[in-house]
Amino acid sequence: MRYAGLLLAVTLLSACAPVSNYRPAVDLSDADAARYETDLRDCKRVAERDRYAPIAVAVLQGAALGTALGAAGAGLAVGNVGLGESYGAISGAVVGAGVGTAQVHQPPDEQEVVDQCLRNNGYTLSRGQP
C-alpha cells in the first residue's frame, strides 16, 4: 500500500506524455484495416513505454532501497521503523527519479520503435516514407 501513491504518480506522469500522430506508410493490400489500427495503437504504446521505462524503474528501485535503509536506520536510531520506511521511500524515490533521468541521454526514436513493432507483427512498410 505504501507504493500505491508512487505508482499512481508515475502513471499520471506517463499519461501526460504527448500523443503521437505518426502513421507509417504500410502496405495494407493483404491486411485487415481494423487489425492494423489496433496493432498501430499497441505499437505506439510500446514506444511510449520505452520512453519512460528507465525512469520508472529507477524510481521504484530508489524507493525500495530507501525503504530498506530507512527501516534499518530508524530501527537502530529511533525505534520507529514505520516512520523511517516512509521517509526512506520518499527520499529514495526522489533520488531514483534523479538518477533515472540522468541516465536517459537520448530517448529512443519513437518512429523507429513503431516501425520495428509493425514489422514484427508482419506488416510491410512502404519504401519512401517520410
pLDDT tens for the 130 residues of the chain, in order = 556 565 556 555 555 555 568 888 888 888 888 999 999 999 998 888 777 777 777 887 888 877 777 777 766 666 777 777 777 788 888 787 777 777 666 667 888 889 999 999 999 888 654 4
Contact 53, 13 (CB under 8 A): no
What does the pLDDT read at residue 25? 86
What does the pLDDT read at residue 39? 92
Using CB atoms within 10 A of its CB, is residue 95 exposed (0-12), middle (13-18) or buried (19+)? middle
C-alpha cell at 104: 536517459
What does the pLDDT read at residue 104? 66
